[in-house]
Copies of this chain bind each other. A is one copy, B any other.
């Protein structure tokens, strides 16, 4: 077989794997949006079957044979894009073939059932009802980690799924430097915020919030002909290119949850709509890592969406949907959406305290993975750490250890990517500001296309060409570091004090 023919056959098989993954994604999306309650058992079985078949295609002899004859090194006869595809599929193939199919199917089934157990457990703040499921999921994940293998920490094998190449020790190093400046800074800001006005509350019908959020998403560039917005208990984004969907949730008395949920998920969605369609169905048109993904959502949520210029344009739009908000002034609103407060829920945390929520989770996951913490001790450890980092304690597990969907879905090793995303976002945003004259002035006139165009060129269309750390270096000229993020925070909160 010629290299060309072989690569063609490889691509066809890669696209079958991709199609299965898209089908699984739709089944999960449906489970969280429209599936009738009694459908959970059958859905778990379906997801298990699809995951098993996908695993078989990825690690099977057909793929192994094709990969054996393809060389992704320069001079191996493949063009640059093809080399990326072969490298990335080979990486997955090499990792996944170490995991028995039965374990893959078992995990997929467990994820679905455990998610179903988590929903009522969180609602009833009943950790005991969720713990046995989490134990099963953890056990399966650790068996997978052991099958994959690792050099340093067992946690490395879990991280690799979400942030390829990242290690627990490297992340700990970056987070330690972050902690040095963030902890005292957060203490100061939280101290100052105690005398600041409380959040702006009101009555905001959810149907109108949905319309506003759609408007804001379209305003920053989300293509509704190639996407949807729905409601789910926990917001998420799925799909890519021509079918990208995100979900949101709304608080009848507070607009923040809906608006920043939409800008956050909208940021994820813009990344997914931004790949090069010529490479659809291959790693060349897929996100570099979840840290990079999160940099996109945090950029639109915080760096753009919590800026004063953004609200110069968007506050009058908000008032179209909520005439009761007519009296709110720009500065008052800008302070409102940037309030810092020690709070219980990660997804509602402000920019200053957000990373503290992640440090807590990173430390817990590492201990779980390394066998130094057991599931039944989680609520106690969680609450201790909340007291130590944020000075508050969850009154119940629903607002504590049960708040996040991730562990119920088997996503162990995922949380650190949120903090990495914040750090990458700060570095990318500084680079964008340097590259685009009058960037923020543009926001005040509703001009968001220059930023999106820059992100498309520098990040989105590059797909998985570079691993996350290298991508940051290519785009910004600098390695991953927390100083840029801290500079941004200090400048912003200094500015608000001065205003």
Q: A residues touching B (Cβ–Cβ < 8 Å)?
A: 15-16, 19-20, 22-23, 26-27, 30, 34-39, 41-43, 45-46, 48-50, 52-53, 223-228, 230, 239, 241-245, 280-281
List chain B residues, Cβ under 8 A from A223. Answer: 38
Known: A23-B27, A26-B27, A27-B23. A225 touches B46 (CB 8 A): no
**Which listed residue (B19, B49, B239, B280) contacts A49, Cβ 8 A?**
B19
List chain B residues, Cβ under 8 A from A42. Answer: 22, 241-243, 280
Known: A39-B242, A242-B41, A243-B39. A22 touches B34 (CB 8 A): no
List chain B residues, Cβ under 8 A from A20. Answer: 49-50, 53
Task: For the complex, give the distance between the alpha carbons of A19 and B42 in Å.
Answer: 8
Task: For the complex, give the distance between the alpha carbons of A255 and B318 in Å.
Answer: 38
Give this chain's copy count: 2
Inter-subunit contact A19/B226 (CB<8 Å): no
Task: For the complex, give the distance between the alpha carbons of A23 and B35 in Å.
Answer: 13
Task: For the complex, give the distance between the alpha carbons of A403 and B230 in Å.
Answer: 31
Inter-subunit contact B243/A16 (CB<8 Å): no
**Which listed residue (B27, B36, B280) contacts A228, Cβ 8 A?**
B36
Inter-subunit contact A36/B224 (CB<8 Å): yes
Inter-subunit contact A30/B26 (CB<8 Å): yes
List chain B residues, Cβ under 8 A from A230. Answer: 34
Task: For the complex, give the distance between the alpha carbons of A46 and B19 in Å.
Answer: 5
Task: For the complex, give the distance between the alpha carbons of A243 and B52 in Å.
Answer: 22
Inter-subunit contact B226/A39 (CB<8 Å): yes
By CB atoms of chain B within 10 A, which of A49, A50, A52, A224 has the most?
A: A49
Of the A-B pairs whose beta carbons lie under 8 Å apart in the complex, a sample of 22, sorted by A's number, is A16-B49, A16-B52, A19-B45, A19-B46, A20-B49, A20-B50, A22-B42, A23-B23, A23-B46, A26-B26, A26-B27, A26-B30, A30-B30, A36-B242, A36-B244, A37-B225, A38-B242, A39-B226, A39-B242, A41-B242, A42-B242, A42-B243
Task: For the complex, give the distance between the alpha carbons of A26 and B50 in Å.
Answer: 13
- In whole Å, how far is A57's beta carbon from the nearest beta carbon of chain B? 8
- In whole Å, how far is A161's beta carbon from the nearest beta carbon of chain B? 23
List chain B residues, Cβ under 8 A from A15. Answer: 45, 49
Chain B residue nearest to A56 in the complex (CB): B53
Inter-subunit contact B43/A243 (CB<8 Å): yes
Q: A19-B45, A23-B27 are in contact. List 12 more A-B contacts (CB 8 A).
A: A19-B46, A19-B49, A20-B50, A22-B42, A22-B46, A26-B26, A26-B30, A34-B34, A36-B226, A38-B226, A39-B226, A39-B243
Known: A42-B243, A43-B243. A23 touches B50 (CB 8 A): yes
Inter-subunit contact B19/A50 (CB<8 Å): yes
Chain B residue nearest to A224 in the complex (CB): B36
Task: For the complex, give the distance between the alpha carbons of A35 and B227 in Å.
Answer: 8
Task: For the complex, give the distance between the alpha carbons of A52 and B16 in Å.
Answer: 10
- In whole Å, how far is A128's beta carbon from the nearest beta carbon of chain B? 25
Chain B residue nearest to A54 in the complex (CB): B53
List chain B residues, Cβ under 8 A from A53. Answer: 16, 20, 53
**Which listed residue (B27, B30, B243, B245) contacts A38, Cβ 8 A?**
B243
List chain B residues, Cβ under 8 A from A19. Answer: 45-46, 48-50
List chain B residues, Cβ under 8 A from A226. Answer: 36-39
Task: For the complex, give the distance between the alpha carbons of A11 and B123 in Å.
Answer: 37
List chain B residues, Cβ under 8 A from A35. Answer: 228, 243
Task: For the complex, give the distance between the alpha carbons of A239 and B41 in Å.
Answer: 13
Task: For the complex, give the distance between the alpha carbons of A38 and B280 in Å.
Answer: 14
- In whole Å, how far is A315's beta carbon from the nearest beta carbon of chain B? 29
List chain B residues, Cβ under 8 A from A239. Answer: 39
List chain B residues, Cβ under 8 A from A16. Answer: 49, 52-53
Chain B residue nearest to A34 in the complex (CB): B228
**Which listed residue (B36, B224, B242, B281) contacts A243, Cβ 8 A?**
B36
Chain B residue nearest to A15 in the complex (CB): B45
- In whole Å, how far is A59's beta carbon from the nearest beta carbon of chain B? 16
Known: A16-B49, A43-B243, A49-B16. A225 touches B38 (CB 8 A): yes
List chain B residues, Cβ under 8 A from A227. Answer: 36
Task: For the complex, give the distance between the alpha carbons of A241 and B227 in Å.
Answer: 30
Chain B residue nearest to A24 in the complex (CB): B23
Chain B residue nearest to A17 in the complex (CB): B49
Task: For the complex, give the distance between the alpha carbons of A230 and B228 in Å.
Answer: 16
Chain B residue nearest to A241 in the complex (CB): B42
Inter-subunit contact A36/B225 (CB<8 Å): yes
